[in-house]
Amino acid sequence: MFYEVPRGAYDTLRVALEQAGLPTSDLEEPGRLFFGLSDDRGIIGYVGLEGDGPDRLLRSLVIFPSRRRLGHGRELVERLEGCVASGVERLHLLTTTAAPFFRANGYVDADRATAPAPIAASREFTALCPASAAYLVKAL
């Protein structure tokens, strides 16, 4: 089941992100939505979406270790891409560890200097992710 994680119910999400070494300091800020994937065995993982307008930031993809390598990451990304609002033209992301995964799912490397202003101004770009993080984009 793919579902939106209710704001204020981020305890398990926060722990999963912290264990994966992903940022958590801005989870409760406006303009962020988080989605979970679960089955009859429990929570599989999470993914986030940030921003508004034609360019959005895909963030915080995490799969619980016991559920990895089973296609769940791909499923979460595909479901997120399928649920974005009409008018969203591109998804952007920064990653220090998962660039090959995202490239295999249609994301292409881009120069951080070309990021649209709302993406470049996000905390992910300005503070949370190192300058060495790969910047990838996918046109929807």
* pLDDT single digits (tens) 56-100: 999 999 999 999 999 999 999 999 999 887 789 999 999 999 999
The two tokens of residue 11 are 């305890």
Residues 5/76, Cβ–Cβ less than 8 Å: no
Q: Where are the domains of the chain?
A: 2-139
State pLDDT tens for residues 68-79: 999 999 999 999
The pTM for the full model equals 0.93
Residues 79/37, Cβ–Cβ less than 8 Å: yes
The CATH homologous superfamily of the domain defined by 2-139: Gcn5-related N-acetyltransferase (GNAT) (3.40.630.30)
